[in-house]
């Protein structure tokens, strides 16, 4: 047995050699083990006979053609494609993925006259890396208590959306809100009850937003919600819905019934904004909602400062009949 | 920028420019024909520089965008060096359509998170086609390292200086590319390593000999 053949069959990597018609010429033990297809079954047959899904796999088709036409190297990243061959994950305890996550590469094989006679394919099991990466991403972007995004992730998203606003003039609105008198909840009912309320408020608001929106715990009892393709008026409407929903909730923590309210501020991104100004205006609007009596929604000030009261009336519009802002 | 080094003569430079022009034309034609990728490549341009001047050169050539991402791939045969693809920041998201096809094989959000993966895939295709066709005309066979993203969304005027061995001189082959139906483009720089310049001169002479006979 040649040295190369020994490596071919013991390496911890799937190795396949195919001719120009994509008929399998070599199929190593790793591939046989994962696919449960023995070399003698597949040798001389087209890869599509055993893996018909590859016939419609855009990248697989394109990469094969590009390797055979240009003699170039090609690859399939696990992050984009997840896998090429539908194999079960090798470790059964890793239930995050239904299929083994794979990183694959491809390259040309030439004969003595340098003509491309076929191609090789390597398959690497990336399931464990992908699972670790997913865990890291979750830990890095989620708030552990409430399960909504954390502040770090929100700030990244604001930065990205900010760029998109600049390039395509997309509208972007931010709601900031804070649970009223949260300290009293903690003092009167204990921190576990406070945590429970944070979770149920976050859950209730999260259920009301689109997947493209981003709800995050900004810190303590303060939350932010970033709304794509949304103007100030629509942001105000949504904020009012949050407010009403939370007001109507009764939190039942181990027999203790607690009701709470939230105060909200809304800002819309302006063309000449900096990131900080955009966030600061929502924060200031929320502060005005607090000082104005809590359990209410305040918009950012209009560009040309109006007296405090007339601003609220002007921006409140459709909600005027539903809720007295100046009670 | 220092005066151009005399690594290759004016005539050799003209021939190389001509060969590149043909090679990149072939690459674009085959990309369209074989894998339905439509790319326009500008008439290539050649310069001889010290490698340490490269960041400054890229900065001066790549205008119109504040920050860039660079995909790098090494290639080796008799002709060897590095290929650098310079994209403006955010191009990956726009290029996802090329890999994604009409059916949208990627799940939503993936193309935002893995912009660099898309740049590498698109870059690999473009570099493979251009370098492959150039090598073919010069009678060489090339192998490639996997591509890597050298720089992601980095300010264009603050590129790191340590791209290459600073003392190395290099022939820089530059072309601009643009994907036909999208307003996305960038620059392709091929940096021929110092070691392969001797071979390159021989290959250029051989290429010309076909016509002299």
pLDDT tens digits, residue range B15-64? 888 888 898 888 888 888 887 788 888 888 888 877 778 778 877 877 77
pLDDT value at residue B39 = 84
Contact yes or no for B125/B37 (Cβ under 8 A): yes
pLDDT value at residue B156 = 65
A→B contacts (Cβ < 8 Å), by residue, are 58-59, 62, 65-66, 69-75, 77, 79-80, 105, 107, 110, 114, 160, 163, 167, 211
Sign of the alpha-carbon dihedral angle for B53, B188, B42, B129: positive
pLDDT value at residue B159 = 66
- Yes or no, beta carbons of A114 and B125 under 8 Å apart: no
Q: Which among A190, A176, A205, A198 has a CA at the least distance from the CA of A290? A: A176
Catalytic annotation, pick one of A41, A124, A221, A240: A221
- Look up A302 and say whether it is catalytic: no
Q: How many CB atoms lie within 10 A of CB B140?
A: 21
- More confident call, A202 vs B164: A202
Sign of the alpha-carbon dihedral angle for A260, A263, A268, A273: negative
pLDDT at B167 over 70: no
- Yes or no, beta carbons of A66 and B110 under 8 Å apart: no
Q: B132, B138, B184: which to substitute to probe chain A, counting the most A Cβ within 10 Å?
A: B132
Q: In this prediction, what percent of chain A has a pLDDT beyond 70?
A: 91
pLDDT value at residue B192 = 84
List CB contacts (< 8 A) between A62 and chain B.
35, 125
- Yes or no, beta carbons of B129 and A70 under 8 Å apart: yes
pLDDT value at residue A323 = 40
Planar angle of CA A105, A107, A113, nearest 5 degrees: 170
Contact yes or no for B79/B199 (Cβ under 8 A): yes
Measured N-to-C along each axis, helices A58-70 and B10-35 cross at an angle, to the nearest 10 degrees, of 140
pLDDT value at residue A233 = 94
Residue B91 vs residues A321, B71, B111: alpha-carbon distances, Å: 47, 12, 11
Query: Which CATH superfamily groups domain A3-129?
Result: PAS domain (3.30.450.20)
- More confident call, A205 vs A165: A205
Q: In this prediction, what percent of chain B has a pLDDT beyond 90?
A: 3
Chain B: give the shortest CA distance to residue A73, in Å.
Answer: 6
Report residue A14 as tokens.
Answer: 């799937």
pLDDT value at residue B184 = 76
Cβ–Cβ pairs < 8 A, chains A and B: 74
- Yes or no, beta carbons of B27 and A70 under 8 Å apart: yes
pLDDT value at residue A281 = 95
Second CATH level (architecture) for the domain A141-318? 2-Layer Sandwich (3.30)
Residue B64 region, left (φ>0) first, then alpha (ψ -120 to 50), else beta? Answer: left
- Yes or no, beta carbons of B146 and A80 under 8 Å apart: no
List CB contacts (< 8 A) between A75 and chain B.
120-121, 124, 146
* Domain locations along chain B: 10-212
Report residue B162 as tokens.
Answer: 């340590």
pLDDT value at residue B106 = 60
Q: Which CATH class is domain B10-212?
A: alpha beta
- Yes or no, beta carbons of A72 and B105 under 8 Å apart: no
- Residues ≥6 apart with Cβ < 8 Å to B11: none
- Yes or no, beta carbons of B144 and A114 under 8 Å apart: no
List CB contacts (< 8 A) between B106 and chain A.
80
How many Å from the N-terminal Cα to the C-terminal Cα in chain A?
A: 90
Q: pTM score, two decimals?
A: 0.69
- Yes or no, beta carbons of A58 and B35 under 8 Å apart: no
The SS3 assignment for B65 reads coil
Residue A160 region, left (φ>0) first, then alpha (ψ -120 to 50), else beta? Answer: alpha
List CB contacts (< 8 A) between A160 and chain B.
112
pLDDT at A309 over 60: no
Planar angle of CA A201, A207, A212, nearest 5 degrees: 120
- Residues ≥6 apart with Cβ < 8 Å to A49: none
Mean pLDDT of all residues belonging to chain A: 88
pLDDT value at residue B1 = 44
Q: What is the mean pLDDT of residues A74-92?
A: 86
The strands making up A149-150's β-sheet, listed across from edge to edge, are: A149-150, A214-219, A222-228, A172-179, A262-268, A297-299
Residue B141 vs residues A243, B135, B136, B147: alpha-carbon distances, Å: 68, 6, 7, 18
Q: Which among A96, A56, A79, A222 has a CA at the least distance from the CA of B121? A: A79
Q: Which among B35, B210, B207 has a CA at the least distance from the CA of B135? A: B207
Whether the complex's predicted ipTM surpasses the cut of 0.90: no
Domain(s) of CATH 3.30.450.20: residues in chain A: 3-129
pLDDT at A112 over 60: yes
List CB contacts (< 8 A) between B27 and chain A.
70
Partner residue facing A80 (CB), from B34, B121, B133: B121
List CB contacts (< 8 A) between B113 and chain A.
79
């Amino acid at each position: 047995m040649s040295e190369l053949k020994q490596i071919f069959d013991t390496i911890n990597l799937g190795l396949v050699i195919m001719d120009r018609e994509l008929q399998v010429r070599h199929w190593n033990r790793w591939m046989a083990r994962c696919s449960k297809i023995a070399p003698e079954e597949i040798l001389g047959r087209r890869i599509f006979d055993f893996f018909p899904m590859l016939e419609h796999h855009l990248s697989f088709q394109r990469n094969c053609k590009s390797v055979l036409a240009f003699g170039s190297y090609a690859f399939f990243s696990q992050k984009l494609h997840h896998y090429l061959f539908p194999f079960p994950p090798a470790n059964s305890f890793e239930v995050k993925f239904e299929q083994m996550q794979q990183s694959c590469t491809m390259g040309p094989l030439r004969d003595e006259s340098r003509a491309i006679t076929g191609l090789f394919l390597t398959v690497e099991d990336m399931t464990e890396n992908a699972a670790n990466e997913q865990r890291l991403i979750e830990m890095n972007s989620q708030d552990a208590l409430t399960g909504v995004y954390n502040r770090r992730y929100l700030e990244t998203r604001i930065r990205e959306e900010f760029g998109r606003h600049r390039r395509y003039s997309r509208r972007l609105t931010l709601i900031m809100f804070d649970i009223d008198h949260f300290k009293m909840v903690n003092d009167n009912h204990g921190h576990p009850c406070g945590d429970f309320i944070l979770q149920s408020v976050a859950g209730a608001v999260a259920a009301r937003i689109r997947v493209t929106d981003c709800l995050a715990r900004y810190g303590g009892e303060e939350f932010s919600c970033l709304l794509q393709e949304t103007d100030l008026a629509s942001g105000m409407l949504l904020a009012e819905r949050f407010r009403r929903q939370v007001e109507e909730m009764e939190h039942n923590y181990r027999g203790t019934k607690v009701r709470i309210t939230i105060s909200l501020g809304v800002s819309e991104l302006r063309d000449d904004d900096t990131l900080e100004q955009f966030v600061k205006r929502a924060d200031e609007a929320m502060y005005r909602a607090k000082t104005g009596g809590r359990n209410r929604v305040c918009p950012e000030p209009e560009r040309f400062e109006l007296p405090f009261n007339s601003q609220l009336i002007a921006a409140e519009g459709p909600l005027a009949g539903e809720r007295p802002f100046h009670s | 920028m220092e005066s151009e080094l005399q690594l290759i003569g004016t005539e050799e430079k003209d021939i190389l420019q001509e060969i590149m022009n043909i090679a990149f034309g072939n690459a674009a034609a085959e990309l369209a024909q074989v894998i339905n990728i439509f790319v326009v490549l500008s008439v290539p341009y050649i310069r001889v520089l010290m490698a340490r001047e490269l960041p400054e050169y890229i900065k001066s050539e790549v205008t119109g965008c504040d920050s860039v991402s660079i995909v790098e791939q090494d290639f080796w045969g008799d002709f060897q060096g590095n290929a650098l693809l310079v994209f403006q920041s955010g191009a990956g998201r726009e290029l996802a359509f090329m890999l994604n096809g009409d059916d949208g094989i990627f799940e939503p959000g993936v193309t935002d998170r893995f912009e660099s993966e898309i740049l590498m895939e698109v870059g690999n295709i473009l570099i493979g086609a251009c370098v492959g066709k150039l090598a073919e005309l010069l009678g060489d066979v090339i192998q490639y390292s996997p591509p890597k993203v050298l720089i992601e969304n980095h300010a264009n005027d603050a590129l790191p200086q340590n791209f290459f061995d600073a003392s190395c001189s290099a022939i820089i082959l530059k072309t601009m590319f643009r994907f036909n139906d999208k307003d996305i483009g960038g620059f392709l720089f091929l940096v021929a390593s110092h070691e392969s310049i001797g071979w390159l001169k021989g290959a250029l002479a051989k290429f010309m000999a076909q016509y002299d006979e």
